[in-house]
Chains A and B, each alone.
Chain A
């Protein structure tokens, strides 16, 4: 059974940092592209970042709203996906989901940016 478990969310002050993790099981993690998607309170889904499966994640893309502040990475040996979030802003407050392509989703982890 495919499972994705998100973790690492929490309360952080504006300008702070957090690192989200997503641990995968039930499939060959190294063979799949992965995405981070977020949902602000009461809002719709917003794509955040993508990492390829080929070249151990050589290809990465970011939404304009997070480019230069967020970094996506993966560790295939640990079946894990990460999102390093720096220079956090109040508007980054959201539930963050990891997704295998768009077919399977983690349960989400809440990030709250507030002073």
Chain B
């Protein structure tokens, strides 16, 4: 069982927007602005698409955006494209003895 809770799957039609939630606690997401979102194709290294809750690395599409409210972080993908279909993971630093926690991952299907 992962420390952060994500939906196992989400789906949306091309051109639509979807949001993936990532729920933690007051010891991680609620206490830190170090929330990350990763995109990962099977067999490859995770790619950072959002860092520090809402910052986008150079080269990442503006269609990806991040936010946080209380103990829940969210990743929104607007204007869904076929190439967005893959797995997404959230992560957060924590104040516990294990300083990093991940979500279980969300499989995005673009219809």
Q: Which residues of A contact B (CB under 8 A)?
A: 35, 37, 44-47, 50, 61-64, 97, 102-108
Give the distance in Å from the alpha carbon of A115 to the alpha carbon of B38 in the complex.
34
Q: Which residues of B contact A (CB under 8 A)?
A: 2, 34, 36, 38, 40, 45-48, 51, 57, 89, 91, 97-105
Give the distance in Å from the alpha carbon of A3 to the alpha carbon of B1 in the complex.
32
Give the distance in Å from the alpha carbon of A103 to the alpha carbon of B46 in the complex.
10
Q: Are B99 and A61 in contact (CB under 8 A)?
A: yes
Residue of A nearest to B93 (CB): A102
Q: Which of B2, B40, B102 has the most CB of A within 10 A?
A: B102
If A97-B45, A105-B45, A107-B45 touch, whether A44 touches B97 (CB-CB below 8 Å) is no
Q: Are B45 and A108 in contact (CB under 8 A)?
A: yes
24 example contacts (A-B, Cβ-Cβ < 8 A) are as follows A35-B100, A37-B100, A37-B102, A44-B2, A44-B89, A44-B103, A44-B104, A45-B38, A45-B46, A45-B91, A45-B105, A47-B101, A61-B97, A64-B98, A102-B36, A102-B48, A102-B51, A102-B91, A102-B100, A103-B51, A103-B57, A105-B47, A105-B48, A108-B45
Give the distance in Å from the alpha carbon of A47 to the alpha carbon of B40 in the complex.
16
- Shortest CB-to-CB span from A51 to chain B, Å, is 11
Give the distance in Å from the alpha carbon of A102 to the alpha carbon of B99 in the complex.
12
Extra contacts, 9 of them, besides A37-B102, A103-B51, A105-B45 (Cβ < 8 A), are: A35-B100, A45-B38, A47-B99, A47-B101, A47-B102, A50-B100, A61-B98, A97-B45, A105-B47
Chain A-chain B contacts (Cβ-Cβ < 8 Å), number: 51
- Shortest CB-to-CB span from A114 to chain B, Å, is 19
- Shortest CB-to-CB span from A75 to chain B, Å, is 22
- Shortest CB-to-CB span from A40 to chain B, Å, is 12
Specify which chain B residues have a CB less than 8 angstroms from the CB of A47 in the assembled complex: 91, 98-102
Specify which chain B residues have a CB less than 8 angstroms from the CB of A102 in the assembled complex: 34, 36, 48, 51, 91, 100
Q: Which of A47, A64, A106 has the most CB of B within 10 A?
A: A47
Q: Which of B36, B45, B97, B101 has the most CB of A within 10 A?
A: B45
Q: Which of A44, A62, A63, A104 has the most CB of B within 10 A?
A: A44
